Amino acid sequence: MIRTSRRLADGREILYFDADGTPARTAEDCRDLPPVGTHSQLRWDALLGEWVVIAAHRQTRTFLPPADQCPLDPSRPGRPTEVPEADYQVVVFENRFPSLATAVDRDVAPAAPGAPLAELRPGFGRCEVVLFTSDHDQQFAGLGRERARLVVDVWADRTAELGALDGVEQVFCFENSGEEIGVTLSHPHGQIYAYPFVTPRVERVLASVRRHREATGGDLFAELVESERTGPRVVTSNEHWIAFVPAAARWPYEVQMFPTRRAPDLPALDDAERDALAEVYLDVLGRFAHRMDTPMPYIAAWNQAPVRTGREDWWLHLQLFSLRRAPGKLKYLAGSESGMGAFITDTNPEDVAEQLRNVVVP
């Protein structure tokens, strides 16, 4: 893999990731761009014990432009975009409308106005956009194994580099796919967040792992993976990965992918595991794409170990889920889910696993 670092007109970094033998990336960004201004804050929710990111400047971000005006396509004569080159394989660049940034204003008050319990911190971190292909009309499921493997290597590269930044506590690679999910740019892309805190989900899972060890002496992650390897909820697997519908799935269609060997994060995977990951991931995405009359919208969320805490307890895994419960019908987070965080699902996990196993991918 060849990595080339360049700068966009406003100073943001752009990284080109290419297979061997590709031309040098030398195109200049000729746009006249104002500097990026980031005014994010972290505010502490004292009741829930969680950080909330306040990023009001993102209200002006680009929203569903026409396909011929997509800012993620390669540049062409007369229409410069976020990618100065005329073509590319995989590209990563700093988000122009980031929720978190390394250059954020560090001078913040100790607490929110009139709320002494709501501690304030600067919205430090980094938010990156990952472009999987220059083909605007492609989907991840159609990338092919070679390109998918390149994306896996890019995720690992960025996880390692962002995790090395002083003040970053967790790196989150993810993809939002489909307008029903809330995607504002239709070009196939994902994002990476480098958080200055450990996210609530990861803290909660780590607490469950530790509680299980204290109560039983066992390893919760290892027991979960072993119990699902031959169970009724397996969707697909190979030597190094297993994909299954979780027994207590929260979403109408939900799959979790685990490596069969404990690894804390994507950089810890060896070459064989990365090859196998690309194979199983494309398989599962293909099933999501062909389960109904149109591809299901989805969120793909990589659950990686925190940078500094709990790494010895963590087991890397992917959550892939869709809020579509049937053709033309969505699962809305209504009173119980949004108000109380108590999920009520509309599908049976064992039935969903069987449906996904039976999908014929062209």
Could you give the CA distance from residue 62 to residue 97 in angstroms, rounded to a whole number?
A: 9
Q: Is 57 a catalytic residue?
A: no
Q: In the 3-class helix/strand/coil scheme, how is 86-153 assigned residue by residue?
A: CCCCEEEEECCCCCCCCCCCCCCCCEECCEEEEEEEECCCEEEEEECCCCCCCCHHHCCHHHHHHHHH
Tell me if 280 sits within 8 A of 243, measured CB to CB.
yes
Of residues 274, 304, 300, 279, the one with CA closest to residue 1: 274
Of residues 244, 268, 262, the one with CA closest to residue 354: 244
Encoded tokens for 311:
């790494």
Q: Which amino acid, residue 41?
A: Q
Return left, alpha or beta for 35; rule: phi > 0 is left, psi -120 to 50 is alpha, else beta.
beta
Instruction: Kindly name the residue from 57, 187, 189, 240 that is annotated as catalytic.
Output: 189
DSSP H or E segment with residue 191: strand 189-195
Residue keyed to tokens 């039935």: 351
The sign one gets for the Cα dihedral 229, 142, 3, 78 is negative
User: Which residues have a catalytic role annotated?
Assistant: 189
